[in-house]
Chain A
């Protein structure tokens, strides 16, 4: 069946006109041209003719912008048949040149040059000049013989001929004859650059940069600049230019044909962008690139392209078992298969064990074992099993002087809380690397941990010889010397203690003295001169001289005489250096207690009753307490207790929220619950919804874990909502802190029966908890009715253990347990 022809609807002229206008306005020039042509067939209206001319011109411009110059010129000429105004005539001439219709362009230019603006005429002259130089000689006859373009063309041609011949002097001579306002102005710059490109590429580059982007020579200048490029970016640039252009650059670069062939092959391999293509190209060019280099290059390519192993072996040489396993291991690593890589690397280690005669076999095996540790670390498996420590130990057996392995191993044992292993590897490290600052630092820490202060001080001295400005070494050294001095004082070896303290003093810079040394020196002298004696602890061999004496330190000489001694002056100096006031007093308290001396009995004036510490002093005090806490001082609660009065006065000082948080955290750390609660009460008044302060307030009220079973349902509800709020605010630290506390309650079986646990689903058996609580209640009631004096030590220990089990803190005492009166709790 024959198809029916599409019928064109018989629309009115008005409709067609409206449609045509819309198409033109919308930039649909092709359709607009058709529409106006149809209208003009019906009726030759002038407005439609003008509209058609406009559509022709607009379409010509659009096509030229797409590089379709030939089509653009035809459209311009169609328009010229409709109107004679020569609109965009200069553009038309450019399009003719770009379309290769140079002859017509030149003729039209000569005919109408007088009508064109001067600037356009000049630009077109430059354009025709470039055409002449590019070999389009057919246009020359259209220009008069005396035209400046022709005159200057002959000069520039002479310059170029001289350049080809290597006659730079003549080239320069003719170049100088080209005036600045010449159509060859930009080309003159290029010739100047060509003259220096071999000797001074940078200077050539600078000259070429002067060629404007709208110059007919802009692309040519850019091409020549390529010859000054470094090879990194050259391959990409070369791939974008034509063969004659590539040859021109090759000439400037001094490349021969063989090299040029390699470039082409590399270009094609780069286009294929596969390791296979690259492997083949490199192997094919072994001779020109160098056999060894190609072999190394291809071997390096194999981990990312293990499929090329056979090709490599055919082309170069068979791979060893080790290399095959190494390539597979690296390939697994590239794919993120760490465990598979691990297995493959272990095969490599075995290979070296079986082939110890191979060059560097031990060190290579050691390096692989350490690499396995890195892989385990990336997987987060470092502390999962013993493989890491075993690998490190084995690596050190193969290559014993690797510091990083010792440090890793020490850290590993420390993390596992294996003190024996930790100490063993600290000793091994210091034996192997006795003057290494990192190892010495660790050895110092390890010795301090064991309270082997003399040893720690020895390491510190060595470290300070190696690294005199090591701040941490100074701190540890000073701490070790002080600790050792305290030990010596306790055993009444005052002369030795003086030496240690003098050394500790020498480690402090004059303007940064902390006062700790002077206080210890003062305490030493007071004891050495018999002014004061330390408390004798229960359970120690020596007993107090008199039963009637207070267990606090006793002044054995009258106060009046002591106050003027150098010892007291040292104490006063130490207090002042610490910062005086509450700071100095706190340091004095801690340092005295460290030597079992009761600070209240020292011959020093107490703090003024009206003294109010400043906000700054309290913040300094927090850092001082924290630093003592880090040193492992265990009696900070008592030390803070002695300053309770002064601290209570500061509760209403204007601390910021962060400062108050630090303060509460510090008081929690030292377990001073009374002050903690008081500061937290004040903080809750100011920041009632802050979850951390709510926690500190309740924590203080409950005396930490001591009275946690006394928690009120309302407080538990507050803790619950504090956790929620902390989580909402993204305050993970606080939420963890509160949850940790609640878990502690749960773990101690102390969740009160009246309280529904906030994490109800975490409990497996509520009946079991209630049962346990009932048992505890019964036991406590039974305890109330017992006469403790009549208990045997065995029974007493049993009861105390039970009390500890349920979370009640029992003060330390020495066995055998003395009989004492009923203890009220």
Chain B
């Protein structure tokens, strides 16, 4: 399970204002009419940490183990540009995909 902080992409010590901004940014990215499920998750996350008291509550009582995917998402964040494969890598990957079709 992703934390509300992961979903809104904010730090655990983010302020009310930063959380609200992040929420609005996410809603623009995933409006309810286009991505209803995602929007619901974003809304629930926002409500869970909207105020200092809510954040304290979350930090005190939340006990679901954190999600591996959230960790992966963080691990795989990159600022580097993607690079094109070499001929050798491309050919190898194609050959692998042709095996046991």
Contact = CB atoms under 8 A, between A and B. Distances in A.
B25 to A, nearest CB: 17
B73 A244 contact: no
Contacts of A334: 63
A254 B78 CA distance: 7
A360 B56 contact: yes
A364 B60 contact: yes
Determine which residue in B53, B57, B86, B101 has the highest number of CB atoms from chain A within 10 A of its CB, and name it.
Answer: B101
Interface stretch (A159-167, A504-512, A537-545): A159-167
Interface stretch (B16-24, B42-50, B88-96): B88-96
Contacts of B87: 160-161, 164
Interface residues of A, number: 72
Interface string A82-98: 00000000000000001
A282 B95 CA distance: 34
A251 B63 contact: no
A263 B72 contact: yes
Interface string B67-91: 0110111111010111111110111
A254 B81 CA distance: 5
A275 B76 CA distance: 21
A71 to B, nearest CB: 14
Contacts of A387: none
Contacts of B28: none
B101 A164 contact: no
Given A248-B89, A304-B65, A364-B60, A242 B83 contact: no
Given A220-B94, A367-B53, A231 B76 contact: yes
Given A245-B96, A367-B56, A163 B3 contact: no
A219 B96 CA distance: 9
Contacts of B65: 275, 300-301, 303-305
Contacts of A244: 89, 92-93, 96
Nearest to B79: A254
A259 B74 contact: no
A364 B60 CA distance: 8
A197 to B, nearest CB: 8
B9 interface: no
Nearest to A326: B60
Interface residues of B, number: 41
Contacts of A371: 60-61
B95 A134 contact: yes
A255 to B, nearest CB: 6
Interface in A250-295: 251-256, 259, 262-263, 266, 269-270, 275, 278, 282, 285, 288-290, 293
A164 B86 contact: yes
Interface in A203-229: 216-220, 222-223, 227
A235 B68 contact: yes
Nearest to B66: A300
B56 A98 contact: no
A780 interface: no
A13 to B, nearest CB: 43
Contact of A290 (B3, B72, B74, B92): B74
A133 interface: yes
A567 interface: no
A303 B100 CA distance: 44
A234 interface: yes
Given A216-B101, A300-B66, A247 B89 contact: yes
Contacts of A245: 93, 96-97
B80 A223 contact: no
Determine which residue in A231, A247, A285 has the highest number of CB atoms from chain B within 10 A of its CB, and name it.
Answer: A231
A367 B97 contact: no
B60 A266 contact: no
Contact of B78 (A255, A289, A304): A255
A164 B80 contact: no
A235 B86 contact: no
Contacts of A130: 94, 98
Contacts of B74: 289-290, 293
> Sorted from nearest, which 9 A-B pairs have the closest CB atoms?
A134-B95, A330-B63, A244-B92, A303-B63, A219-B97, A220-B97, A254-B80, A231-B73, A248-B93
10 contacts: A223-B97, A234-B72, A248-B89, A251-B83, A251-B85, A253-B78, A254-B81, A266-B72, A266-B75, A371-B60
Interface of B: 3, 12, 53, 56-57, 60-66, 68-69, 71-76, 78, 80-87, 89-98, 100-101
Given A135-B95, A232-B69, 4 more contacts: A218-B101, A247-B89, A254-B81, A371-B60
